[in-house]
Structure 1
């Protein structure tokens, strides 16, 4: 069913964005579903989605995916749909992953910039490095969720790496260490990875997995992103 863009809303939820719906029409009926509002009301009542109520929002509620387990289940369901490969956000995820793997920093920055301009990022405010982290996590989700474990502020070397993707028992996939900078350069971000030796933990015990170092910045004056990628 694609009531009023339901497919897009489900994908947005999986990517970490909120979805607003009106709970007023829900009749606690699992067989007579007539619109998107009833779908989200039912999923909230069954516990598959979390729900927040905000002051002065009336009967509108904000739905969200409450944990990783439910997100992975939703991803599995979406992957089984015949329209899966035709969704732009999924195609974008594949392009972003391949751009990073091929050390294509220009394309990586362009795709992250596109995610920055999406409606979800404006919800959290694009004035902190937190928003850059969100862009990468949501952008890579469809390619990385089932194949990688992701870690934020991971203790590594002499400090804490902003974001690290480590393959789940797949030695053919690269480890990705990503550092973000706002109003500093991508070179500053990349140099921090090296100077703080964030990759040290992955050079132990003869670990020969490929490691990619990704420095990404956002310039708040020019509204541009820049990226540098190196392979260890």
Structure 2
């Protein structure tokens, strides 16, 4: 959710108190009731409603003993810097490390699947949520750009365009 995604939630088991918390859904339901999360009744999903609350969640993660999560965020921060600095070797290593770690929830059976690679990229660039708006399958003159990160106003950052090509060349992707 910190990355801007929604999560499914079953609010029907929540007992409307703070002492009967038994499941992940109960925790999410409580956070909805407290106003920290927004609930979509149509899709039965939950999301962080705004930037201020998202920052609070990030702060909580950084303060707690979440070494793995902190490392993921720091690696993502560095990946953005390396991307902006056009350090293709560092970017390739970071994407490969993310892909090999498998922490983004894609089965090894789909290691080279385009959707798995898309998940790797979204996960690797998780820190873009702070400064960018993510658009997937952005229409262009010559087709669709797989993932585009457009900088939020006033930050002076470049747009990041990510084109995924299986068994294709970098020149082909650029073309």
Verify same fold: TM over 0.5. Answer: yes
1:109 lines up with 2:92 in the alignment: yes
Contact 2:151 2:157 in 1 (8 A): yes
Distance change in 2, residues 1:71/1:159 (3 Å)? same
1:139 lines up with 2:124 in the alignment: yes
Q: Which runs of 5+ in 2 are unaligned?
A: none
Aligned pairs (5 A) from 1:41-190: 41-44=26-29, 46=32, 48=37, 66-67=46-47, 69-70=48-49, 72=51, 75-81=54-60, 83=63, 87-116=70-99, 117-123=101-107, 125-142=110-127, 144-170=128-154, 172-190=156-174
Equivalent-residue separation in structure 2 for 1:18 and 1:166 (angstroms): 20
* Structure 1 residue 167 displacement after superposition: 0.9
Name the structure with the higher strand share: 1
Q: Deviations over 1:158-206 (max 9, x none)?
A: 221111111111352011111111222333323x3xxxxxxxxxxxxxx
Q: Considering only aligned residues, what root-mean-square deviation do their CA atoms show, in Å? A: 3.9
Q: Which runs of 5+ in 1 are unaligned?
A: 1-12, 51-63, 193-232
* Structure 1 residue 16 displacement after superposition: 8.0
Q: TM-score, normalised by structure 2?
A: 0.69
Distance change in 2, residues 1:131/1:16 (3 Å)? farther
* Structure 1 residue 125 displacement after superposition: 3.3
Distance change in 2, residues 1:33/1:112 (3 Å)? farther
Q: Deviations over 1:140-165 (max 9, x none)?
A: 222x2132111111112322111111
Q: TM-score, normalised by structure 1?
A: 0.54
Name the structure with the higher helix share: 2
* Structure 1 residue 30 displacement after superposition: 3.3
